[in-house]
Structure 1
């Protein structure tokens, strides 16, 4: 495999690839409109993974860069899965200087618990303290 490059440069992101993946192939953001995705990117710390200049993976972190972060929209393009790209991407996210010393770093996953557990993520220690407003079909309207 060619050298994998991880970058937080938003100008390098392939926004159309990100939108296509999330809106058509993800399990969590089906139908997300492009302007919503663009706004999410604009207001987040984003990580692109690139092979030979082509984006092959993405992760987005919503954070105050002091106490809290939420990891979202993590994906590797199907063709490139199984080659350790997600692990390198997650390591870059967790090592980013703006994400050090946080009190809470959260994520939601339906099928990658084992992967995230390798990086210290666990079920909430106090699930009764967590609440959410969840609108799973918001993009269908």
Structure 2
């Protein structure tokens, strides 16, 4: 667990509030149409990072990894009511610096927030793909 004021980040899949994650993903351009079963399967097969304000989940991100050579960072999102408070930066920092894959090839695919990810060593190799070695 990581804490900052009334905000907390957990990487415990059991802490994921499924309905809140579903609602967060509905706010996104990349997963707004993702069905419930797909969301459930993706959570089950990922390392999930849940950001809470008090006891309500307001942020999410997940990592798909083999723990040997690669970590794919996906679905990083902060609830619109909690943006512009540095929470996205904090969540990304927590994810990319996790010792389980810090020294591994890290990959993410995004169509926005490039300036945020560049601060963490990612560089654009294509309009939609950023990587960090």
Q: How many Å separate the matches in 2 of 1:15 and 1:98?
A: 24
Aligned residue for 1:8? 11
- How many residues matched? 124
Q: How many Å separate the matches in 1 of 2:97 and 2:55?
A: 22
Aligned-pair RMSD on alpha carbons?
1.7
Aligned residue for 2:114? 113
Q: Deviations over 1:95-130 (max 9, x none)?
A: 21211220x211111111100000000023xx6xx9
Judging by fraction of residues, say which structure has more helix: 1
Aligned residue for 1:139? none
Runs of 4+ residues over 2 Å off in structure 1: none
TM-score (norm 2): 0.86
More relative contact order in 1 or in 2 (CA 8 Å, sep 6+)? 1
Segments of 5+ residues of structure 2 without an aligned counterpart are none
Aligned residue for 2:20? 17
Of structures 1 and 2, the larger Rg is shown by 1
TM-score (norm 1): 0.81
Judging by fraction of residues, say which structure has more strand: 2
